[in-house]
Structure 1
Amino acid sequence: KMSAIRSLRSLLAFSHKIHLFRAFHASKARFSLNVDYQNLSKFYAFDNWWTDERLKPLRAMNELRIPLIVNQLLNDKTINSHKPLSGFTLLDVGSGGGFVSEPLARLGASVTGIDANAQCVEFTNSRLRDRCTQLKSNLNYVHTTVEQFLSNETREKFDAVIASEVLEHIDDVESFIQSCHSLLKSNGHLFITTINQTLAAYLLAIVAAEKLLGLVPDGIHEYNKLVPLLGLKVMLEKNDFRPKLIHGMCFNPITQRWSWTWNTSVNYAIVAVKSLKVKTST
């Protein structure tokens, strides 16, 4: 009798393991669209995104990208309020540690940050709960991909979508662009910062920044995933976006600061506007 009970327990335990195995892979499949899990796993190494020295260049980029977003959304109008983005709904795709989401929420915007990395979302929600309680009403983070996030409720909901340092980590850039287009209101803005696919980018952003200077974690960028500026511009136009602004970005490893430049061969920013579709009479 005891032997039969032990056999039954073993069978139940094995059945439970099979259930967990299937649940894990079902969950992974749900988020697998356009997600490179091998690349994504490199972001699990950061215990605290806001203090890790390896992320200092990424945090410092706010000196450029936050004013860029604000000025473009306000059409370069004079800012007379400490919350100039009140009334704007923004989506931060690949929100990571919340470096972009949080300051935009502090400026009054209603911000949703999404990320395919569960650990990132857990970290940002913990930070929101413990350190940024005043932002709970206008900032939230969701564990999902942009494709999974797209639904009838989110379609044409946002005034702007931000994809900062994201495109170089995904598999299908065009699918990503199409999802962003569907999420935006008419005349909505798409803000992108990424790395060009050039020899200069390989030498500076990968060889120097990762392998020689250790400014960012080694292996976090792959040359074949870097995004050619011309190709991205054509892709945006093909998918009903009008490129509005293109700037080069330069990081000084000595001062640890970013600056705008005419040179787009390494880092660049591009702002595009969702085109209005003109209805033709038949």
Structure 2
Amino acid sequence: MYDFVVPCRKFYLAKLPCASLEVSAKMDNSEVSNFTSLCDRWWDISGDFRILHAMNPIRIEMINYLFKYESPKPWYPLYGRRILDVGCGGGILSEPLARLGAKVLGIDMLSEAIDAAEDHSLRVNPDRWKDAPFGAPKYRNMSTSEAAAQFSEKFDAIVASEVLEHASDWKNLVRDASTCLKPGGHFIATTINRTIPSYFLGIIVAEKILKITPKGMHEWNKFIEPSELSLVAIRNNLQPRKVLGMAYCPLSKEWHWTRSQAINYAFHAIKVGPSKF
């Protein structure tokens, strides 16, 4: 999942539990079991999702960059933008997007995750939303296929961060995301590449030796090469614009961009026409 950076040397390790469980139509039973067991830990910033919390700055940096010249209010770079957070989990990314002025809808197939997101958003310090132009994120327990049927061409951006590799059919998820996206809208995904380093260091080392990831959290054959994602995007009217490698430094506990796409990467595409479906 990330580049494990230490002085003078760099190692590749796998990703920690991801924020998303959402899939197009159904979820594998193993995925349901894995994430259900973690649903009370979404907002423990030193727990199982600590790496995901640490990822927020660069995820938000990328999303802000796409809209920074279009906002009528510079202090709210996402002002008025409708953003769909696919596989939102406990709302780790949805909340900061809303505070930056976006109208956020987070969806997830796991009802326990939606409960956790709503609980944190509305019951934990609700006063923090007073300065958010459009208030707290909205959450729905639904699949992308349901979202596509209800929200055709409604969103300015679709974010699928740490979700594709957990979907039972990630290609349908991309199709549904394209359907929900307005022409000219942005599709942003972060996921993990299917490489030899991602298997050996991402699963064998990270899950079984160092145990920094719960055992069985990832399946190597579900990882997605950037070329595969690009091809599926093109078939669904999404024109790939950028693929960026992502790296995590355990010393600083921060993520940064890197030239290497061998493990983690971010993918950006723009919808170039009306939905086909």
Please indicate the TM-score interval, normalised by the length of the shorter structure. Answer: 0.7 to 0.9
1:254, distance to aligned residue in structure 2 (A): 3.4
Residues 50-82 of structure 1: CA deviation (Å, up to 9, x unaligned): 11512111111112111101111335x799633
The aligned counterpart of 2:48 is 54
Match of 2:121 in 1: 128
Structure 2 gaps of 5+ residues are 1-22
**Deviation of the 1:251 alpha carbon:** 1.7
Residue 48 of structure 2 aligns to a residue whose secondary structure is: helix
Q: Which amino acid aligns with 2:177?
A: C
**Is 1:87 aligned with 2:69?**
no
Q: Deviations over 1:72-127 (max 9, x none)?
A: 1335x799633221110000000012111000001010000000111100111111
Amino acid at match of 1:266: I
The one-letter amino acid of 1:218's match is K
Asked if 1:64 is matched to 2:62, the reply is: no
Paired residue type of 1:89: R
Quote the sequence identity (%): 36
Cα distance between partner residues in 1 of 2:71 and 2:78: 12
* 1:1-282 superposed matches below 5 A: 33-46=25-38, 47-51=40-44, 53-74=47-68, 81-133=74-126, 134=129, 137-151=135-149, 153-276=150-273
The amino acid across from 2:95 in the alignment is E
Task: Write out per-residue CA displacement over residues 229-250 of structure 1, whole angstroms, 9 at most, x where no aligned residue.
Answer: 1111111112211111110011
Structure 1 position 228, deviation (Å): 1.3
Deviation at 1:132, TM superposition (A): 4.9
Partner residue in 2 for 1:8: none
SS at match of 1:159: strand
Structure 1 residues 73 and 212 mapped into 2: Cα distance closer, same or farther (>3 Å)? farther
Q: Is the partner of 1:98 in helix, strand or coil? A: coil
CA shift, 1:173, in A, is 1.7
Q: 1:240 to 1:218 in 2, by over 3 A?
A: same
Deviates most, 203-212 or 236-245: 203-212
Deviation, 1:139, is 1.2
Cα separation, 2, equivalents of 1:255 and 1:209: 19
Query: What are the superposed Cα offsets for residues 164-190 of structure 1, whole Å, 9 maximum, x if unpaired?
Result: 000000121211111001000011100
| One-letter code aligned to 1:121 | I
Q: Secondary structure at the match of 1:83?
A: coil
**Is the Cα contact below 8 Å between 2:24 and 2:167 reproduced in 1?**
no
SS in 1 for 2:246: strand
Q: Distance in 1 between matches of 2:210 and 2:29?
A: 26
**Which one scores higher on RCO, CA 8 angstroms, separation ≥ 6?**
2
The structure where helix makes up a greater share of residues is 1
Q: Number of residue pairs matched?
A: 245
- Superposed CA RMSD: 2.1
2:8 alignment counterpart: none
Asked whether the equivalents of residues 164 and 191 of structure 2 are also in contact (C-alpha less than 8 Å), the reply is: yes
Counterpart amino acid of residue 53 in structure 1: G
